[in-house]
Amino acid sequence: MASSEAPAGIKSLFNQYAENGVMTVENLRNFLVEIQKQENATVDDAQAIINSLHELKHLNIFHRKGLNLEGFFKYLFGDINPPIDPNRGVHHDMNDPMSHYYIFTGHNSYLTGNQLSSDCSDVPIINALKNGVRVIELDIWPNSTKDDVDVLHGRTLTTPVQLIKCLMSIKEHAFSVSEYPVVITLEDHLTPDLQAKVAQMINETFGDMLFFPGPEGLKEFPSPESLKKRVLISTKPPKEYLETKDISGEQNQMEEKPSAEAGPWGREFTFANSRTDDKEDLHEEEADEEKEDAEVDQKSQQITAPEYKRLIAIHAGKGKGGLSDWLKPDPDKVRRLSLSELELEKAAITHAKDIIRFTQQNLLRIYPKGIRFDSSNYNPLIGWMHGAQMVALNMQGYGRSLWVMHGMFRANGGCGYVRKPDILLKTGNEVFDPKAKLPVKTTLKVTVYMGEGWYYDFSQTHFDTYSPPDFYARVGIAGVPADTIMKKTKTLEDNWIPTWDEQFEFPLTVPELALLRIEVHEYDMSDKDDFGGQTCFPVSELRKGIRAVPLHSQKGEKFKSVKLLMRFEFI
């Protein structure tokens, strides 16, 4: 197995900056300033790079005056040269109201697999929190003996897990990777006596970590900075639900469907809860449930759990009327609205600017449509470009949507909160229109030099039984529709270390919402192409210059050795 060799473009740059085949500390500093665009780089920074390579002394990559070509190449392709600055940490202003941030949000956070028959567990909740997820969703139901509370996907074959187990795991892992607030959204299918039990459980588990808004509710959401290490509960207030209950049955049009957050005791009931047929989000099944709910309601009109209502920091609910009413901001209080991906798509056609206005003060949660039994996901950009903060994805639903989600939340130090672009916070006549044809603001130029590491991370017969793999790379943008595109390199046959040396240009009209997507596949003439790695980064966080880009598995786990050598420029 041959070791990788610097491609022609890298040799050319080395010769440009080196003297007699040696790159001195001063030469390297000039390279950092001019090519890597690290304007403040010092001789000490350059020396630190050379020092970091000292463990590779046995490779003969040093000269007494500096680095030879191989040493320079080792620096460029090394872990010390990533595409996002690992030391930058949280750098967005975190003092704005919570409604000004995208929040890393999970859907049915307790499911280990599909939506119909997988186990419910606290393990996926722990994994989500360890990956920086900040919004955990729990469906809460009476247990089989009606004296305790389980978490499960109702009216399906999913096996339950005790609510207390989930709460304890959230407490233990909530702030293991980020100090910023965790929101627990409850889809509540409980009787008032069990709601009271849940209130006690939550109070005893979280204690001082809980954020209480006070009896008058919130006129504006607090900032993530002010809510560090706090847990917030979000669901529909019970009393408010009973007061606004409308069981007249006039719910035929999309705008007057059963509330996505309606249920007998203020429970938040999304269409996702009884998914056996799409039917424009399950009108028929929901109608039966509304009837059941109404009967139970009449028996418990006077019973509420005040201590449960007091827990609710973020009030959820659609209210009466149709879409226009749902999206009307209330000057006296803020709330959370939930829409399915289908509802959002329809609403965006007629009410795009209203949605964005609503999300400037209020929270909007988007969740997968009912027929995604396999825990697949939708394109999160649809929600983000309309200002939706809580774009909820199935964290076990591996695929491009989730890769884009991981990419978005690599921003801002991976803290789970990313400040929305200013364009989505403009008011009056300047409200952003996602469909508008806008001028190009900048063009991202990407050079894909080469890749390596598959030889070490995959078995020698993984791609082809009898010959080395035939790799190609796909590079593109996930963003507003005008910016979204994927391009592809040539396929290099029979090569474990492909050197493509190709350039691509991506004109960007809304770079603030653009993510760079990268995939590698192995061409297979007779079957589906094999997957060879992927990653995604916010364009706004990319470090300019030549960088070593580590690739990840389909599940989002970083490969030990697989990476690409790429260059990023803005022209």
Structure tokens at 11: 């040799």
CATH number at 442-570: 2.60.40.150
Q: Which residue has the higher pLDDT, 264 or 428?
A: 428
What's residue 430's pLDDT? Answer: 87
What's residue 2's pLDDT? Answer: 52
The radius of gyration of the chain from alpha carbons, rounded to an integer in Å, stands at: 26
What's residue 293's pLDDT? Answer: 46
Region 27-55 average pLDDT: 92
* Residues forming CATH 3.20.20.190 domain(s) in the chain: 99-426
Nearest to 365 by CA among 424, 325, 317: 317
State pLDDT tens for residues 186-239. 999 999 999 999 999 999 999 999 999 877 789 999 999 999 999 999 999 875
pLDDT above 50 for 169:
yes
pLDDT above 80 for 143:
yes
* Geometric angle at alpha carbon 70, from 64 and 75, rounded to 5°: 90
| pTM of this prediction exceeds 0.85 | yes
Poorest-pLDDT segment among 224-228, 253-257, 417-421, 523-527: 253-257
Region 350-377 average pLDDT: 94
* Residues forming CATH 2.60.40.150 domain(s) in the chain: 442-570
CA 126 to chain centre: 16
pLDDT above 80 for 341:
yes
Region 65-76 average pLDDT: 90
Pair 73, 81: CB distance under 8 Å = no
What's residue 239's pLDDT? Answer: 55
What's residue 267's pLDDT? Answer: 32
What residue type is assigned to position 39 of the chain? E
Poorest-pLDDT segment among 69-83, 94-108, 239-253, 469-483: 239-253
Structure tokens at 182: 């965790």
pLDDT above 60 for 558:
yes
CATH number at 8-76: 1.10.238.10
The model's confidence at residue 252, banded by pLDDT at 50, 70 and 90, is: very low
Q: Tell the CATH topology of 99-426.
A: TIM Barrel (3.20.20)
* Residues forming CATH 1.10.238.10 domain(s) in the chain: 8-76
Would you please indicate which residues are annotated as catalytic (active-site) residues? 107, 153
Region 497-520 average pLDDT: 97
Q: Which residue has the higher pLDDT, 217 or 123?
A: 123
Pair 120, 143: CB distance under 8 Å = no
Q: Which residue has the higher pLDDT, 134 or 331?
A: 134
- 182-212 burial string, b = 16+ CB within 10 Å, else e? bbbbbbbbbbbebbbbbbebbeebbeebbbe
pLDDT above 50 for 261:
no
- Tell me what percent of the residues of the chain surpass a pLDDT of 90: 74
What is the residue-averaged pLDDT of the chain?
87
State phi, psi for 534 to the nearest 5 degrees. Answer: -155, 160
